[in-house]
Amino acid sequence: MDLSAYTILVVEDHDFQRRMTLRLLKDLGAETLLEASNGREALQSLVDRGEPVDIILCDLDMPEMDGVEFISRVAEFRLAHAVAVVSAMEISILNTVETMAKAYGLQVLGAISKPLNLQDLTKCISSFQPKGSVRAASVAPSEFNVEDLKNGLVEREFIAFFQPKVSFATGEVLGVEALVRWFRPGHGVVSPLYFIHQMELEGLVTPLTEVLLTQTCGYLKAWARRGYELTASVNVSMLCLSDVSIADRLHDLVKDSDCEPKQIILEVTETEVMVDVAKVLNVLARLRLKGFGLSIDDFGTGYSSLQQLSNVPFTELKIDQSFVKDSPIQPRHRTIIEASLDLARKLKLKTVAEGVETRAEWDLLKSLGCLQAQGYFIARPMPGHQVLDWIQMWQAPEEA
Ligand code: C2E
Ligand code: MG
Ligand code: MG
């Protein structure tokens, strides 16, 4: 492949590695080479340049602006035709980033692990298609069918984002909830609200749970290696729990990922599809015996009822965000929250308030004795590789 016609930008904070990459590219015949030592600097030079470069080779773990943020800006402003990710991070993380970049409409040449060598670089660059158009990302979900969903599972387009759960009392980050996002190439990011129901109808929700649990265990291990022992909550549809083999499968999956069931909290979410309640109870009891935490999600709405609480060995109750919202000015919401917290205390369940958006909601829920908070006031759901950086920046609100 003749690289002399292309402009290639290398973004790498490590001087030696940047020089080495430039050398290898020259050996491959590249003539027009640009370089930057971080995302911010690279973005500035691309904006100044005024026309897109052909290829960007980008490290992920960089100071100032990390590679993921950089890639999303590049896509948003159409600053390149193609990107290749070069990083020392785990391959599963590289795959995630690759999927995201594709969803933003960028041509992705591949993810190369470090140390970079000529063979990998050649293979990656030679997949570049010069006429590749740069499409804009969009967030509006468009029509999709069961084949798109199945294909999305095969192509690893479903990505776990993580939203922190923190202690009201100490501000400490105790865990995260995994929330799926569909990075659909050419269509942008699709919210689970648009596809979970259809996945349930098509029998795809169990594979999805397994995908999310696998990604989650991967991150739990990576975080633990850096000294952060977190728990992670994974949403499990009631429908998924009516398959009697699921308890063993989830257990084996967690063990095979070198994690322990006690690190995982399964959040039972309701479904409109009819399920066999007896089977679900059997499965939940077995999951609890195997050590998983069990959380009743969206408590107070739909199926998340008192009856379930009396039958299932739950360990946690999540107060639905519809009650948290406006609770400081809505006496009825406050009353429901107080009753739910009272019930949870008597049943010895941990309590989590979801959808905490304001300081006033934080103060109220804290004063009522709720244990954990989750919501935009603390943090929005984020990609797994950002979690530890976020934890380091996080400061709980000062006492009122
Ligand atoms: P959920 O489990 O109750 O998750 C909480 C939802 O509230 C998430 O929406 C989260 O992004 C959003 N949220 C968090 N904090 C705030 C806040 O302060 N304000 C507001 N307005 N919203 C907030 P998301 O990610 O769109 O998920 C929606 C629902 O989709 C989830 O509700 C869950 O029932 C389902 N879901 C998500 N991921 C999965 C999954 O992997 N499997 C299954 N079966 N269901 C999932
Ligand atoms: Mg949930
Ligand atoms: Mg919820």
* Fold equal for 7-125 and 146-393: no
Q: What residue ranges in the chain does DSSP mark as E strands? A: 7-11, 32-36, 53-58, 80-87, 107-113, 158-167, 173-184, 188-190, 231-237, 264-269, 293-299, 316-319, 350-353, 372-373, 382-383
Residue 237 CB less than 6 A away from ligand 1: yes
Instruction: Classify 114 as helix, strand or coil.
Output: coil
Is pTM, for the whole model, over 0.85? no
Q: Which of 236, 264, 269 best tests ligand 1's pocket when mutated (most atoms within 8 Å of CB)?
A: 269
Confidence band for 302, pLDDT divided at 50, 70 and 90: low
Q: What is the predicted pLDDT for the residue at 132?
A: 42
Average pLDDT of the residues in 6-28: 92
The yes-or-no verdict on residue 350 having pLDDT over 90 is: yes
Q: What is the predicted pLDDT for the residue at 112?
A: 85
146-393 is a CATH 3.40.1280.10 domain: no
pLDDT digits (tens, 9 = 90+) for 161-181: 999 999 999 999 999 999 999
Which phi and psi angles does 113 have, rounded to 5°? -85, 155
Q: What is the predicted pLDDT for the residue at 215?
A: 96
Average pLDDT of the residues in 274-299: 88
The yes-or-no verdict on residue 136 having pLDDT over 60 is: no
Residue ranges per structural domain of the chain:
7-125, 146-393
pLDDT digits (tens, 9 = 90+) for 201-253: 899 999 999 999 999 999 999 999 999 999 999 999 988 998 989 999 999 99
The yes-or-no verdict on residue 327 having pLDDT over 50 is: yes
Confidence band for 140, pLDDT divided at 50, 70 and 90: very low
Residue 363 CB less than 6 A away from ligand 1: no
Residue 295 CB less than 6 A away from ligand 1: no
- Three-state helix/strand/coil letters over 203-228: CCHHHHHHHHHHHHHHHHHHHHHCCC
**How many angstroms is it from 298 CA to the middle of ligand 3?**
4
The yes-or-no verdict on residue 1 having pLDDT over 90 is: no
Half-sphere exposure of 293 (CA within 13 A, CB side): 23
Which residues are paired to 113 by β-bridges? Answer: 87
Residue with tokens 């990083």: 87
Looking at residue 66, its amino acid is D
Options 3.40.50.2300, 3.90.1150.10, 3.30.70.360, 1.20.1300.10; which CATH number does 7-125 get?
A: 3.40.50.2300
